[in-house]
């Protein structure tokens, strides 16, 4: 299995693989991505195949900075303001695609918009620099499953499907980027994520609404059941059954679970976000009949954490 510690030499090899049209998993500050040259339709096909991802669900294109992003999308003042405030970082902007962007149609699922993000991670940035390519990269998991926040998670999800898996250790944010569409008068929040809604509102100077999930084209990736472990989840648990595993938050931790993982004993939402997906994955492997989850405050990053938990809990 080609898991390589992300040394300079390994990054160079990974860049060459991307240029050759192969797919490579790499770390970002949010989650691990499964990358391909966004201009190469054949390479992008491999990403969809490896993830078993529906073709109607477009990918985020990773770029080094705003300058590069402007070759693929039209930025208005609002988009520029958001990019300046949060890039490099965990914000993806959905913008009007430049007609001559050169990005493969499959990346954007045939839409006339494109999602762009400049990752705040040295390894991801080194790959972008070395390849000089726009890199399309969804999270490196099978479609519908929990996003990987560690190289071992990528191996568990995709095995040897990527030509290479660059190991850069655990992802510090642990939640996917926040996705905001800026195509009309009012920006729309398409996906809650690592940048809390309030931080975006503070930059915009007004509130921002979450897209209606029933509008499929608005947010094609917001499939109801997502981020899902195999074990059923029970949310807002204040007690626990002996056959349940427990995902806890804060000091109110019910006793008697088969196994317990506490996302943050200190009740810190940033720490909880970082630990969320790894915690779900670990409890999924305990053989418990259910995973009970204690309540998590629905503010700041808690909004995105609860969004992921609700989707993970949706019945099959």
230 Cβ contact partners less than 8 Å away, ≥ 6 residues apart: 284
Smallest distance, Mg ion to C-beta of residue 47, A: 11
Q: How far apart are the first and last CA of the chain?
A: 32
Tokens of 45: 């096909």
Q: At its nearest, how many Å lie between ligand TXA and the CB of residue 5?
A: 19
Cβ 163 to ligand TXA, closest distance in Å?
17
Contacts within 8 Å (CB) and 24+ apart, 167-170:
167/3, 167/4, 167/5, 167/6, 167/27, 168/6, 168/26, 168/27, 168/121, 168/123, 169/27, 170/274, 170/278
Task: Report whether 175 contacts 304 (CB < 8 A).
Answer: yes
Binding residues for ligand TXA (CB under 6 A): 28, 30-31, 33, 57-60, 90, 92, 94, 108, 111, 113-115, 117, 137-139, 176-177, 179, 190-191, 219-222
Say whether residue 92 binds Mg ion (CB under 5 A): no
255 CB neighbour count, 10 Å cutoff? 8
Q: Which is nearer to Mg ion, 59 or 288 (CB)?
A: 59
Binding partner selected for residue 178 from ligand TXA, Mg ion, none, CB under the kind-specific 5 to 8 Å limit: none
The interface partner of residue 135, options being ligand TXA, Mg ion, none and the CB cut-off 5 to 8 Å by kind, is: none
**Of 51 and 290, which has the nearer Cβ to ligand TXA?**
51
# of chain residues touching Mg ion (CB under 5 A): 1
Our CB check for Mg ion shows the closer of 154 and 257 to be 154
Smallest distance from ligand TXA to CB 86, Å: 12
139 lies in the binding site for Mg ion (CB under 5 A): yes
Which of 283, 281, 299 is closest to 148 using CA atoms? 281
């Amino acid at each position: 299995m080609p898991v390589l510690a992300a040394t300079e030499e390994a990054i160079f090899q990974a860049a060459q693989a991307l240029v050759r049209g192969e797919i490579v998993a790499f770390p970002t500050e949010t989650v691990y991505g499964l990358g391909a040259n966004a201009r190469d339709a054949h390479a992008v096909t491999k990403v969809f195949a490896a993830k078993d991802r529906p073709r109607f669900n477009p990918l985020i294109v990773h770029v080094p900075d705003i300058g590069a992003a402007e070759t693929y999308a039209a930025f208005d003042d609002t988009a520029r303001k958001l990019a300046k405030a949060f890039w490099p970082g965990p914000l993806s902007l959905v913008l009007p695609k430049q007609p001559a962007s050169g990005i493969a149609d499959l990346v954007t699922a045939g839409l006339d918009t494109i999602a762009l993000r400049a990752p705040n991670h040295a390894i991801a940035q080194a790959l972008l620099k070395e390849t000089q390519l726009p890199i399309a990269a969804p999270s490196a998991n099978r479609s519908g499953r929990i996003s990987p926040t560690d190289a071992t998670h990528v191996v568990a999800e995709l095995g040897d499907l990527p030509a290479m898996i660059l190991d850069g250790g655990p992802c510090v944010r642990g939640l996917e980027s926040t996705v905001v569409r800026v195509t009309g008068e009012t920006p729309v929040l398409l996906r809650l994520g690592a940048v809390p809604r309030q931080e975006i509102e503070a930059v915009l100077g007004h509130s921002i609404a979450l897209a209606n999930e029933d509008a499929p084209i608005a947010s094609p990736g917001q499939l109801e059941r997502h981020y899902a472990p195999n074990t059923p989840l029970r949310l807002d648990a204040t007690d626990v059954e002996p056959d349940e595993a427990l995902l806890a938050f804060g000091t109110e931790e019910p006793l008697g679970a088969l196994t317990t993982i506490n996302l943050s004993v200190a009740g810190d939402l940033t720490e909880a976000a970082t630990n969320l997906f790894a915690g779900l994955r670990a409890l999924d492997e305990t053989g418990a009949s259910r995973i009970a989850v204690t309540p998590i405050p629905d503010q700041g990053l808690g909004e995105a954490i609860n969004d992921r938990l609700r989707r993970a809990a949706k019945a099959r």
